[in-house]
Structure 1
C-alpha cells in the first residue's frame, strides 16, 4: 500500500511508521536543535513511560502552559502514545482564566515554560520544560509502551471561550484528526496534506487547534516541522528562505504584518508551494499582494476547534480570477466541504434550509469532537443527533455548494485569529463599581480583522472614562480580549424579553459591508 493511501488510526502509529521508514529524516527543527524521526519516536516512548512512572494511566490528563517548542511537541506525542489527554493552554490568558481551566480540566501534572512558572497557581505536580525536562525524558525507559491506544480514544482537550463566559473543554479523539488525510490524498487536496519530507513552518499559538493541530498534522504526514516560539515576521521570512519552506499556515492579520515587513521586499519565496490561511476571510487587496509576492497557491481553511480544524476549504483554483470569471463571488466564500464532510443550513427549528437561504451552519463529519468536557447541557445543544454538530455560525450555501459565512449567531469576535466572546468580556468588566450596564461587540479593523468595543452605561455622576474600563478589563482577562475602545450611551437597546440587541449596536460600524464578519 502506498503512503498516500495509508490510514493511521493514531498519531503514535504514524510516528512509528515514519521512524521505521525514514529514521534520519528531520522531524523537528527548533532554533539550533534538530530531531530526526528515529529520535522523535524514541522521545515519545520515553515521555509516555515517564508519565506512567509518575502514576498516570490511560484517560488521565496533563496540561502544558507555554509557547511553541520542540519539547512541547514531543510532550503531546508522548501523551498520545500513553493514551493520556493533552491540554495545551493559550499562554496569553490571564492567571484567573488559566486557574479555571486547570481546575476544570482535572489535569494531574502541569508542564510549564520557566518564564510562566511563577504566575500559575497549580496544586499538583509541576515540571518545567527547560533543560531539566530533557534530563527527565532521557532518564525514562525506551521499552515499547504496552498501553493500547485506539482511534476513538481521547487525544486533546482544548479550551474555547463560551457564550456563557466560562471556557469549555473540547475533547478530540485521534480519529477526529487522522481520518481526513487518506481522503485528501485520494481527491488531490494537496494544499492540506503535504508530502513526506516537505518543510512547513509552525508559528500559530499552541493552545489553538491551528497550533497543536499543525504540529500533529506534520507527524501524521511525515513532514519537517520548523517551530517558531511565536509569530515573528522577520524569522518567518528568514527561515522560509534558509530551509526552503514549502508550506505556510497563517492568519490574514499575520500575513499582512509579514508582507509589510522590510525583509519581505527582496525575499526569495520561490520554495513556497502554498499558503493556507484561516480564522477570517482575506481582504482582496492583501490576497493580490500575497500572490504577487509569494507566487504560490493560496487556499482558505474554515473550521472550528470542535471539528479538529478544517472542514471547508476554498481551493487554490478558486483564488485565481481567471478560473472564476463570471462567478467572482465564490472568492468571498469559505469554500466547499472537504471530502467526507457534509454541511447543512438549519432554521430555528433545526430543519434543513434550501440553497440561498441563511441559517445556522451544521457539520457532519468524522472530525466532529467527542464532546465538551463535563458539559452535558452544552453537548445536548450542539450535538443534535446522527452525527450533526451546530457550529453557531450563520451562513448560506449556494447552488454549487459554496458556504458563505454571514454572521455569528453566538456573537463571537475574531481579532487577529483569536476568538473573543462578548459574554466573557462583559462578565469580566461588569464588576466595575461605576458600570451600570455593558455590551461588547466586534467592529471592523483593518489590521486585526475585528476589534473589541465595549458599549457602556455609566452610573450617574461616576465620571467613568474609557481608560478606566480598559484598565479594569486587563486585570481580569487576557489582553487580546479587552476592549480597544469604549463608547458611552444612556441605555442599551434591548428586545421585549430584555436581551441586548447587539446587531443594532454593530450596525453603524458595519454599514456598507457585505457581511458582519471581517
Structure 2
C-alpha cells in the first residue's frame, strides 16, 4: 500500500482549501487506496536510464521519474504529482497515435505504423492548467514536435501558424473548440479534443499506459534515444516569434537547446527541488513555457498556475502561506498592473494587502524576475519600495532562450542586463560597411567580459553563441543563414554596450536605435526618462522618417487619469533631464498602448498606423 497516492486522490479538494483537509477526506482516500494494487506505473519504465551518461540530454518528461512522488503542480483543478503527469501524458500519447493510425491509408503517408507521429508537428491550444503540460509531454512521447498556440490570437493568425508549421494534428480543450474547428476544416487537419478527464480524472495505479504493447514499444524507442544522446539533436518545439519586426517565424528548439537553457537558469538562479513558482504568463512564448513551466519540472520543483492574469488574484497568490511560493517571474506590464492594484486597494475598506508587505514578501520570496521587455526604472523602484524586492532583470529572446542576467546575489544595476548565463558566450561588434566583417568591441562569457582597448562604452550589435541557440527557422533556410555570421555567431538584431562591468541593451537595432542628426539614440533610454514624468502612465518612443533629421524622435504617450501634456510642456520638462538631441520633437497621446501578450509594442506597425503620412510611397 502506497500512501503517496493519497495526495492524488485528494486533488479534487478546492485549490483554495488545500490547507483544510479533513479526516473525512483522508478516510475516503485511504479507503480507495486499500483497493489498489502495488503501483508499477513508471517505476519500471525508466529506472534503467539512471546509468546513462549524465552528459546526455534527458527531456523533462523522462526526468520526471526521479520525482514521481513529489507534487509537480497546483492549478484551479487541484494538486498533481509527477506520477500523475506521466500517467495522463502517456494515456494521451496513445490517443494521439490512435488518431494518426487512420492516416496509414493516405497515399503519401509512409510513416512507421508503430509511431505514426514521429517528426510530425502537433499544434495545440490549451488552458493555463495541467492540460498544457500533459499535451506537451504527450506530443513528445509520440516523437512529435510541439507547436503551442496563443488563445488571444485571431483565427487568421492561428491558421497561419498551423499552415506554416505543416501541423498534422490540432489539439485543444473543449473551451477552444469553436476557435480551432474552422482551422481544422479550412486546412484539412485532424482535430483532437481533450476533456478534464484526460488530465484530471481518477485512475487505478495498475492501469498505467506504458505497460501496454504500445507503451513497451515506446519505452524501447525512448531508451535508444537516450543511450545514443539522440535527443540532443531532435526537434522538440516550434515557437513563433512575436512578429514585432516582420511576419512571425517558427523558431525550432531541439531538446538539446532546451536542456542548455534550463540548466543555465538552474545554475544562475539557484533553482532546487524545494522551489515553488507562481505562474501567470501566457504559454506560447519562451518566458512562460521554458522559464516558468519546464524549468521547475526539470529539477523536481513545483508550480502554482493561475488560469489567467488578474492583479487581485496574483496578489492573493503572492501572499498565500500554504503553498510556500518563493519565486515569481513576470513581464514589466504585469508588475505595473500589480502596482496599480496595490495603489488602488491600500486605502480601500476591504483591504487585503498587509501594511508590512515588504517584511512579508522578503521573508517568503527568494527571487523575483522581470523580462521579455525593457523594465522601466520607475516600475523597478516602485516595486522595490512596496515589496522590498529588487527585481532581477534579464535578457533573452525566442531564438536563444535566456542569454544575459543580473546576479542572483550582488548588485543589480537598473537599466542593464548583467552578464551572460553559464554556457553562453557573447560579442558586441561593429559591422563594417560592406557587412562582410566586423570589429569586436567587447567579448566574453559568464566568467569574464573584456572590452577591446580604446573601444570601451561603444555600442554595437550583440552576438551570441552556445548550446542554447536555436537550430533553425522552420522552412526558412535563407532566413536561418541570414541570422548567423559566417563564423557561427547568432545575430540578435539588438544593439548593446558593455559599460561599467555590465551589458546594457540600447534597443532593437531596427526600431529602438533612432538615427537623428549625427546621433544614434536609444529609444529605450528616452522612454525610461519620460516614465519619470508625474503624468505619464505608458510610453513608446519611435523614429519617424524626416528629411531634416533623418528620423524625428516621436513620443507616443498614455496619460494617467486626469493628466494631460502638450509638446511644449513636455519639451520644457525634458530640458534638465536629457540631452537636447534626445528630446521628442513630435507627440501623440493614446487612451491605451497596443501591446502583445508579452507586453511588447510593435513599433513599426504603431508608427505606420498613427503617422501614415510619413510612410507614403514616393
Counterparts in 2 of 1:102-501, with a 5 A limit?
Answer: 102-120=162-180, 121-122=183-184, 123-131=188-196, 133-134=198-199, 141-142=209-210, 143-144=215-216, 145=218, 146-148=220-222, 149=225, 150-162=231-243, 165-182=246-263, 189=268, 191=269, 193-213=270-290, 214-242=292-320, 243-261=323-341, 262=345, 263-264=352-353, 266=355, 268-269=360-361, 270-296=363-389, 298-307=391-400, 309-317=401-409, 319=411, 330-348=413-431, 349=435, 350-354=437-441, 355-398=456-499, 400=501, 402-411=502-511, 443=556, 483=606, 487-488=610-611, 490-492=613-615
How far is the alpha carbon of 1:34 from its aligned partner?
1.3
Tell me, yes or no, if the aligned pair for 1:344 and 1:352 is still in contact at 8 Å: no
How far is the alpha carbon of 1:370 from its aligned partner?
0.7
How far is the alpha carbon of 1:311 from its aligned partner?
0.9
Tell me, yes or no, if the aligned pair for 1:396 and 1:405 is still in contact at 8 Å: yes
Q: Secondary structure at the match of 1:310?
A: strand
Tell me, yes or no, if the aligned pair for 1:156 and 1:173 is still in contact at 8 Å: yes
1:441 and 1:169 mapped to 2: Cα distance?
32
How far is the alpha carbon of 1:11 from its aligned partner?
2.1
1:207 and 1:232 mapped to 2: Cα distance?
19
Distance 1:274 1:51, change over 3 A: same
Tell me, yes or no, if the aligned pair for 1:11 and 1:219 is still in contact at 8 Å: no
2:335 and 2:280 mapped to 1: Cα distance?
12
Q: Secondary structure at the match of 2:256?
A: helix
2:141 and 2:259 mapped to 1: Cα distance?
14
Distance 1:319 1:237, change over 3 A: farther
Counterpart position of 2:444: none
Q: Secondary structure at the match of 2:440?
A: coil
Deviates more, 1:139-148 or 1:83-92: 139-148
Based on CA coordinates, which of the two structures has the bigger radius of gyration? 2
1:9 and 1:360 mapped to 2: Cα distance?
31
How far is the alpha carbon of 1:135 from its aligned partner?
8.8
How far is the alpha carbon of 1:375 from its aligned partner?
0.5
Question: 5+ residue gaps in structure 1?
Answer: 321-329, 423-438, 448-465, 499-518
Tell me, yes or no, if the aligned pair for 1:43 and 1:74 is still in contact at 8 Å: yes
Distance 1:489 1:80, change over 3 A: closer
Per-residue Cα deviation, 1:189-245 (whole angstroms, up to 9, x for no partner): 2x2x42103210111110111111121112111111111222222222222332221
Alignment of 1:92 onto 2:152:
yes
Alignment of 1:36 onto 2:65:
no
Distance 1:167 1:286, change over 3 A: closer
Distance 1:43 1:374, change over 3 A: same
Alignment of 1:65 onto 2:96:
no
Q: Secondary structure at the match of 2:240?
A: strand
1:389 and 1:287 mapped to 2: Cα distance?
30
Per-residue Cα deviation, 1:28-71 (whole angstroms, up to 9, x for no partner): 11114111012212223333333333333221111112442111
2:208 and 2:601 mapped to 1: Cα distance?
39
Q: Secondary structure at the match of 2:117?
A: coil
1:286 and 1:200 mapped to 2: Cα distance?
21
Distance 1:351 1:181, change over 3 A: same
Q: Secondary structure at the match of 1:353?
A: strand
Question: 5+ residue gaps in structure 2?
Answer: 1-49, 101-115, 226-230, 346-351, 442-455, 513-522, 528-539, 543-551, 561-587
Deviates more, 1:125-134 or 1:107-116: 125-134
| TM-score w.r.t. length of structure 1 | 0.73
How far is the alpha carbon of 1:279 from its aligned partner?
1.8
How far is the alpha carbon of 1:285 from its aligned partner?
3.1
Distance 1:216 1:183, change over 3 A: closer
How far is the alpha carbon of 1:484 from its aligned partner?
10
1:201 and 1:91 mapped to 2: Cα distance?
20
Distance 1:184 1:126, change over 3 A: closer
Counterpart position of 1:506: none
How far is the alpha carbon of 1:83 from its aligned partner?
2.3
Please give the root-mean-square deviation of Cα atoms over the aligned residues, in Å: 3.8
Counterpart position of 1:435: none
2:559 and 2:407 mapped to 1: Cα distance?
24
Tell me, yes or no, if the aligned pair for 1:29 and 1:227 is still in contact at 8 Å: yes
Equivalences, count: 428
Tell me, yes or no, if the aligned pair for 2:608 and 2:615 is still in contact at 8 Å: no
| TM-score w.r.t. length of structure 2 | 0.62
Tell me, yes or no, if the aligned pair for 1:28 and 1:227 is still in contact at 8 Å: yes
Distance 1:480 1:164, change over 3 A: closer
1:371 and 1:441 mapped to 2: Cα distance?
36
Q: Secondary structure at the match of 1:300?
A: strand
Tell me, yes or no, if the aligned pair for 1:246 and 1:273 is still in contact at 8 Å: yes
Tell me, yes or no, if the aligned pair for 1:204 and 1:231 is still in contact at 8 Å: yes
